[in-house]
Amino acid sequence: MDIIHVILLSLIEGITEFLPISSTGHLILASQLLSLPSTDFLSTFQISIQVGAVLAVLGLYAKKLLTNPTLIIKAFIGLFPTAIVGVFAYPIIKNYLLDSTLVVAISLILGGILIIIMEKYLFKDKSKDENLESITYKQALFTGLTQSIAVIPGVSRAASSIFGGMISGLNRKTATEFSFILALPTIMAASGYDLLKTAPSFTQNEILYLILGIILSFIFALISIKWLIKYVSSHNFTNFGWYRIIIGIIFLFIALN
């Protein structure tokens, strides 16, 4: 792994983390296309650079979080289901699923089909006045439950939490913004847990790569978040569903050949 790989993977992470297309899936697929050897450091790098994306959320939503601390409580309520699933599934995810192009490809395709179906038949534009402050604890917990499915690479934490929020009654924009907030404890917990287990074995060079990756993903995530908020104000997620299917089919062929 060299500096070019760090830049490319950080770009992918920052841009895709909050889109419903699976940042982890894209990182796994990109790593395989770049012929990067499967190592503990690469797996940790893929998980830990998500911290940069979280810092971007903090930068953009710090004022709302400080003036409405119940949002933080709701984010932690949403974390519980994912944390429980993540702790028990961690060995399988780290040792098997994070290396599987086939798992990612299938998850992308099935998720894309599900997004298209839900957008066509379940969700209509909602004009009701709603914002982050109006989210209930019940909605936060349900969103956390659906987010826990994203421990499977390729499912997408953003997709599962956004659509979980919409199923619970939130409009598209509010569900998307709560997905950002929900990422704060979720990603910090996942990254911290992984770093505690693996960081002591890394070289000084690898630690520098991690730091650079976090900084770059922060910058790219800022751009992505601002764009997505504008996008969901006038569009649904159907285009993302088709994108998932197309890229999933491409990588399915790669996995099977």
131-141 per-residue burial string, b: 16 or more CB within 10 A, e: under 16: ebeebeeebbb
pLDDT for res 94: 62
| Predicted confidence (pLDDT) at residue 129 exceeds the cutoff of 70 | no
Q: What percent of the chain has pLDDT over 70?
A: 92
- Please state, rounded to an integer, the average pLDDT across all residues of the chain: 87
- Average pLDDT score over residue span 128-141: 84
**What whole-number distance in Å separates Cα of residue 15 and Cα of residue 224?**
5
What global pTM score does this model have? 0.86
> Is 163 in contact with 150 (CB distance < 8 Å)?
no
- Average pLDDT score over residue span 106-122: 92
- Average pLDDT score over residue span 16-45: 86
pLDDT tens, position by position, 40-54? 788 888 888 888 999
User: In angstroms, what CA-CA distances link 145 with 7, 170, 190?
Assistant: 33, 15, 16
- Average pLDDT score over residue span 207-233: 93
Q: Please, which pLDDT band fits residue 126 given cuts at 50, 70 and 90? A: low
| Residue whose C-alpha is closest to residue 150's, from 254, 229, 50, 226 | 50
pLDDT for res 96: 57
- Average pLDDT score over residue span 77-95: 76
pLDDT for res 153: 83
- Average pLDDT score over residue span 182-190: 83
Helix (H, G, I), strand (E, B) or coil at 69: coil
Q: Where are the domains of the chain?
A: 3-256
Which of the two residues, 92 and 125, has the higher pLDDT score?
92
**What whole-number distance in Å separates Cα of residue 161 and Cα of residue 43?**
23
